[in-house]
Structure 1
C-alpha cells in the first residue's frame, strides 16, 4: 500500500483535488462522511472554489434523503499547532451569528464539518457579482448588512475582553495563520515556515524585473511615488518578533472567529433584511489576542480585492504594473485601488469595530506603544503567507499579480503617505476611551 493510500480520507481528497482527480477525491470524502454520519452516501459534489485556499467544500447526498453542505479544512503542521478546530458552540454562546454544524470531526487529516444545506450565497460571491457588474448603485443592501455585522461583532466581542496569560494565548489556533507560518526549526523567526518555503533563495519575476531573493529582501520600495522605510526582509523578521504569541499575551484577549473572510460568511436573505452568518470557525478561540482578532477579515474582505489575490490571471488583464530597479530602490507603479464596495467595508470596519476596540484597549491601559506595528505586520502576513506570491510559484501568480501583491503587502506592513496610513490615523484619532 502506498504512503498516500495510508493517509486519512480527507487528506487523500485534498491531495487528489490538487492532482486533478476530483472523482477520486469525492470518493474519499464520501467514505469519510459515511463514517462520521453512520449513513451511506449517495453522491458528493466538490465545489470549484477560488476563495477557499486551504479547504474543500461542497454538497453531499445521504441515503436518508438529506443533502448537507460540507467543508474540510487543512493547514500545514496542524497536528503540532492546532489542538481544537471547530468551536462554533463557543461563538454561539457569546452571541455571534454562526452556523453550528450538524456533524464535526477534528482529527488531523479528517477535519470536516457538515452543515444543514443553505441556498444562500456566500458574501464573497455576492461581492464578486457586484464588482463584476460595477453595480455601485445597488450595493447598499450588502454594505448595510456588513455594517450591522460589524456593529454586532463588537457587541459580542466586548463582553469577552479580559487579560490573557501566556499559556492561554499560546494555545490559540489563530497563530497558525501568522506566527507558525513564520518559523521552523533552525531558521531565524520570520524567515522559516512558509517564508522559507515560498521565498528564500528563490527568484522573483516582478513585471519586467527579475530579482533573486537575497537582493530583493534588501531593496527599499517606492510605490506610486511613496517611499516605504521597511524592506521585505525587515518586515518578515519584525513579524517573527512582534507576532510571537507570548509577545501578544499582555495586550488583552477576547472571543472571536479569527478567520471570518467572506468565503466563510453566508449572505442570509431569508428574513426582512439580509444578515451575515459565519461558519467554519476553524481558528475561533476565547483567548485570541485582541489586535489579531479581525486582521484576516480586514485584509481578505478588503485589500485582497478586486481579484488580484484570488484571480491572478484576471489581474494580469485588469491592471497595469511597472517595476524598475534603481540601485537599492525598487520603483513600482500600478493602477490598483479599492472599489467603492471595499472602501465602504473599510470604513465600516474602522468605525464599528477598530475604533471601539482601540478605545477599550486605551481605557484599560492595554494598548501597546507599538500597536500599529503589530496590526501592520499581521496584515502584511495575510497575503504573503496564505499563498506563494512569486510568479511561477505554487500560488498560481504571474509577474503582474506578484508585483501588485507584494506592493500591497509592503503598503500595509510598512507605512507611508497612502490610503491605509490615512485610515489608520483616522481610526486612532477617533478611538477615545
Structure 2
C-alpha cells in the first residue's frame, strides 16, 4: 500500500486572498462597468492600478465574511464563489426594478439582454450594497451547501421576483461561464490570459492578481513540512479547484512544485476534461469538489467515475473547507482539516461539524499528525471514544506494516485493555484474532516470545504471524472461543450469571501455580548483567519509572481532594508527605519508595532467571476446557527473575478491580483522605477487604506459588538479599504506572487517591497485605 497524502492548495499551502480579490473585482466590473450593468450610470470604467486599489474595490462589493460563509457551505471553487455573488447581486438588482417586462426568461450572459437590463437599471439607479444581499441563512438557502446551494439560487430568484426562473442560473450555465471568463481576465492579466487562452481579454489593461499571490505560510516552513512527510515515506499529491496553470505557477515560484508527484496532481483542468468526455457519452455530471472524483483521481491516476471505491483510509486528504471534508469522506480517504482556511467563527464551527478525522491549526502540524495516526498508541486511545475511526486507522496500519489487506476490522475494547487493544479481522471466510501491547515510552526492540514459552511447557496460544519491531508489535492468532479469566472473575465478583464456579477458578489457579513452580525449577539459570538488562519485563517496571511515563503522568500535576475538589494537591507534595493508613504510619514516603524502586529494579544486575510470561494477568488468560489456563499476548515473555514474573498477575488479578471499573467502583468506595498540613502527613482510612473470589485466588497463590517459590529459591541460594525490596518496589509500579491516576477522563479523583494508597501500601515491605512474603526469612 502506497503512503499517499493529497493536498488542497488554497487555504492550505497557497493563500486565497488574491482569488477573493479577483472574485470581488469581477462583481465590481459587472455592477459598475458601462459594458455590463452600470448601476451608477458612469461614463467609463477605470481599472485599478495597484494591488491596494484592487483590494479596496473588491472588498466594497464582496466582503470576506460573505466569502467565508460560502466556503463554509462547501462552495469550494473560486469560480463558484464568484458566481454565487453574481447570482445574489443579480437577484437583488432585479428586485429593485419596478418594471421587469421583457427581461424574462433571464439571459444574463447575453449582450442584448444585458443592454436591456442596463437600460432598466438606468431608470432606477438601484441601491447596491453587500448588506442588501439575501443572507445565506435565508430559509430558501439555509441548510444547503456545495452545488445544492448554487442550485437554490433559481428557487430564490423565483420567489423574490415572482417569476419562474429555471435553466438560467445553474452551475456551468452560460452566465456561470461569463463569470469564469471575467475571473480569468482579472486573475491572469493580459499577457498570461493570451498565453493561456490564445485570444485577448474583453477588457484589456487588468493587472493580473496572480502576480500578487503570497504563500499562506513562510516558504521555508512549508518546505520543511513537506520534506518531513517525504522523509516519512509519503508521496505527495495535489487536488485543487484551480486551473492547472494557476495551480502550478505559484508552487513553481515558491520552489515547492518539485516535492509533488506529477502523476498525483489533479486540477480543475483535468476535472473539466473528464466532465467533457462524459457529456460526449450523454452523461451530464459535475465532478468538482465536493464530489470525490478529484481526490480519487489524484490518489489513483487511472481512476474513472463510477469505479469501486478504495478501502477506507487508503490515502489522506489535507484540506481546509467542508467541501474538502465531504469529498474526502465520500472517497473513503482520511481527512486532516487545517484551520487556516476558516477565518470566521461560523466557518470554524461548520468545519468542525463537517467531521474531519483530525483537525490541526495549519499544515506545519500535519507531519506530527500523520505520525500519530500511524501510531498504535493512537488506536489504543481511540478505541474507547471513536472506535470506527480507530478501526479505520488499524485497517490502514495492517496494510502499511504487515501487507495485510483485510476486509474488515472489529476492535473489542475492554476494561482490561489499559495499555493494549485487541479484536478480530476478516480476510475472505477466515477470521483472525489480533492483539498488541502499547508502551508510549517503549525502549525495547523485541517482544512476544510465544515459542519460548511453548518450548518450556507453558500452555500458550501460538501466533500465526507476528510483527516485532519497536513500537510496532502485533500478534495474529487463530480465533479462540474459550472464555477469558478476566471476564469470569468479573462475573463472579459482580454477582452476574457465571459460566463457572469459584471452586473451578480456584482449582485452575492451583493447577497453574503448580505448573509454574515446575517450569521455574526446570528453567532456572544465571544471567549476566548485560543479559538481564535486555529482558522485556523491565519495560513494565524500571523503564516506566525512568523512561518518561512517571514524568508524563505526574510531573507538575495535581490531584483534587475527593471531598474538596477545589483543593488540588501537587504530586510533589504527595511524594514528600508521610502517609498514615488506617492509623498506621507508613515507613517510607511515596517519594522515597520511588527512589528505592529506581535503585533496586535497575536492570543491569546479575540475576537468577526463569522463563516466564511476565504479564500473565487474567486479561491475557483463557480458561480452556473449564479447568486449565491458556496464555496469550506474551508481550513481555522471556528470561527474567521469578520475583518479577509473579508481580503483575498478583496485583492485577487480586487488587485492581478499581483500575478497570473506576467510575462503577466509586459509589461504593469508602475511602477518606485528609491532608494534614501541620504534620506534613496524608491520612487515609480504607477497608482493604477483598471480594471473596479474589481473596480465594490470593490464598491459593500464596499457598501454592509464592511461599514455595521463595522457600525453593532460598534453598538453592537463588534468593537475593533484597528480594523484599524488589517485589514491593515492583508492586508499587503496578498501581502507580499502569494508568495515570491523575487523568480525570479515566477515573474520578477518589479512585486516583485509592490508587495512590495501594501504591504506598504495597510498596512497604512491612505491610501484611501479602503475609507469606514476610513469612520467609533469609537464614
Q: TM-score, normalised by structure 1?
A: 0.88
Partner of residue 164, structure 1 = 527
Q: How does 1:233-248 map to 2 (within 5 A)?
A: 233-247=591-605
Secondary structure of 2:477's counterpart equals: strand
The answer as to whether partners of 1:36 and 1:103 remain within 8 angstroms in 2 is no
Q: Is 1:69 the equivalent of 2:433? A: yes
- CA gap 1:244/1:53 in 2 versus in 1, 3 angstroms: same
Conserved in 1, the CA contact under 8 Å of 2:446 and 2:470? no
**Deviation per CA, 1:22-68, whole angstroms, max 9, x where unpaired?**
223212322444567766422211012110111111111111x1111
Distance in 1, matches of 2:761 and 2:748, equals 20
The within-5 A match list for 1:221-300 is 221-247=579-605, 249-250=606-607, 252-269=608-625, 273-286=626-639, 288-300=640-652
Aligned ranges for residues 46-61 of structure 1 at < 5 Å?
46-61=411-426
Report the 3-state secondary structure (helix = DSSP H, G, I; strand = E; otherwise coil) of the residue aligned with 1:292. Answer: helix
Q: How does 1:33-432 map to 2 (within 5 A)?
A: 33=398, 40-63=405-428, 65-78=429-442, 81-133=443-495, 138-184=501-547, 193-208=548-563, 210-247=568-605, 249-250=606-607, 252-269=608-625, 273-286=626-639, 288-304=640-656, 307-326=657-676, 327-390=679-742, 392=744, 396-416=746-766, 418-420=768-770, 422-426=771-775, 428=776
Give 1:227 deviation, angstroms: 1.8
The answer to which structure, 1 or 2, has the higher relative contact order (CA under 8 A, 6+ apart) is 1
- 8 Å contact kept, 1:220–1:231: yes
CA distance in 1, matches of 2:652, 2:663: 18
**Cα distance in 1 for residues equivalent to 2:634 and 2:474:** 12
Alignment CA distance shift 1:166-1:300 (3 Å): same
In the TM superposition, residue 255 of structure 1 has moved relative to its aligned partner by 0.6
Give distance in 1, aligned partners of 2:557 and 2:372: 30
- The offset of 1:368, in angstroms, is 2.1
Give distance in 1, aligned partners of 2:743 and 2:441: 25
Measured in 1, the distance between the counterparts of 2:691 and 2:394 equals 38
Work out the CA distance in 1 between the residues paired with 2:540 and 2:507: 29
Q: Give distance in 2, aligned partners of 1:389 and 1:82.
A: 25
Backbone CA RMSD of aligned residues: 2.4
| Consecutive unaligned residues in structure 2, runs of 5 or more | 6-365
Q: Structure 1 residue 15: deviation in Å?
A: 6.2
| Cα distance, 1:125 vs structure 2 | 0.5
| Distance change (3 Å), C-alpha of 1:7 and 1:216 | closer
Normalising by structure 2, we get a TM-score of 0.50
Cα distance, 1:221–1:39 mapped onto 2, change above 3 Å: closer
CA deviation after TM superposition for structure 1 residue 282, in Å:
0.7
Q: 1:232 to 1:6 in 2, by over 3 A?
A: closer
Runs of 4 or more consecutive aligned structure 1 residues displaced over 6 Å after TM superposition = 134-137
CA contact (8 A) 2:379 2:393 kept: no
* Deviation by residue 1:345-401 (Cα, 9 ceiling, x = unmatched): 112222222223212321232322221111111001111011111252x6x122211
- Deviation string 1:72-105 (CA, Å, 9 cap, x unpaired) is 2221233xx2122111000000000100011111
How many residue pairs get aligned? The number is 408
1:229 and 1:415 in contact (8 A); partners too: no
CA distance in 2, matches of 1:12, 1:175: 19
SS at match of 2:546: coil
CA deviation map 1:131-171 (0-9, x unaligned): 01078993111111111111111111221101110111011
